[in-house]
Amino acid sequence: MKNREKMIALTAFIMVALFAGAAYYFKNKKAEEQRLILENNRKRLVKDYSPVYGNTNAPVEIVEFLDPECESCKKFYPFVKKILNNFNGKVKLVVRYAPFHKNSIFALKILEAARNQNKYWETMTTLFEMQPQWGDHHNPKPMLIWNYLPDLGLDISQIKIDMESDEIMNRINTDIEDGKFLNVKKTPTFFVNGRPLQEFGYRQLFDLVKKTVEELD
């Protein structure tokens, strides 16, 4: 009987160890592939039209692939702003789009149109703040977005014209293509000076930014 128990324990141990070993190997291989892709395709990380928040000359650049309808992006947004403040002027944020939800593209078109009226970041903040209302996954009501815009001082009739422009759609499509190319499968996805955030989390993002700032100092 004792031998049987040993056999079971040993088998369970070997199986879990195999799993962990294979996982470790696979993750490392993936990370290396991702590193090479980024190294050879830095141009696909940032576009000249990409919105920049903070000091445009900052040496450290966070590229965030986000989706206004994504809940994690909403939660990360104030945190990312806090990081920017924390390293006053040394860090900037570049926004790229990864619309993974039903009404993301609709919201992004409005957001981009608001940019023409110099209200980009205000609109972004409002979209995230009001997300539980308009972007509820079980019962999305994207038309509610129109109600928020007058408070921001936006000219809605102008937005409705601008949001249908080819330029805006091209930007969104280019972001989607670049995201696919760079293996962006989840939102938000962060890159700090071309380095991907290996492990997802607030602390991890802060640490990666801090490390990058310190390397440059």
Partner 1 sequence: MSNKNAYNILFTGWLIALIASLGSLFFSEIMEFVPCTLCWYQRVFMYPLVFIFFVSIYKIEKNILLYAGPLIIIGWIFSFYHNLVQLKIIPEEASPCVQGIPCSIKYINWLGFITIPALSLFAFTLLIITMIVFYRRVYHEK
Question: Which residues make up the interface to partner 1 (CB under 8 A)?
Answer: 4, 7-8, 11-12, 15-16, 18-19, 22-23, 26-27, 185
Helix (H, G, I), strand (E, B) or coil at 190: strand
Q: Would you say 22 or 156 has its CB closer to partner 1? A: 22
> Between residues 27 and 141, which has the closer beta carbon with respect to partner 1?
27
DSSP labels, 43-110: GGT--TTS-EES-TT-SEEEEEEE-TT-HHHHHHHHHHHHHHHHTTTSEEEEEEE---STTHHHHHHH
Nearest approach in angstroms of CB 185 to partner 1 is: 7
Phi, psi (rounded to 5 degrees) for 176: -60, -45
Q: Does residue 188 contact residue 64 with C-beta atoms inside 8 Å?
A: yes
Q: How far apart are CA 80 and CA 143, in angstroms?
A: 28
- From CA 178, how far away is CA 65, in angstroms rounded? 10
CB of 11 to partner 1, least distance (A): 6
Q: How distant, in Å, are the alpha carbons of 103, 131, 137, 170, 172 from that of 141?
A: 9, 10, 9, 25, 21
Q: Which is nearer to partner 1, 2 or 43 (CB)?
A: 2
Smaller CB separation from partner 1, 19 or 202: 19
Q: How far is the CB of 181 from partner 1 (least distance, A)?
A: 17
DSSP-derived 3-state class of residue 180:
helix
Closest separation in Å from C-beta 76 to partner 1? 20
Q: Which two tokens stand for residue 184?
A: 């962006």
Which residue lies nearer to partner 1 by CB, 4 or 203?
A: 4
Q: At closest approach, how far in Å is the CB of 4 from partner 1? A: 6
Nearer to partner 1, 12 or 152 (CB): 12
For residue 179, the minimal CB distance to partner 1 (Å) is: 15
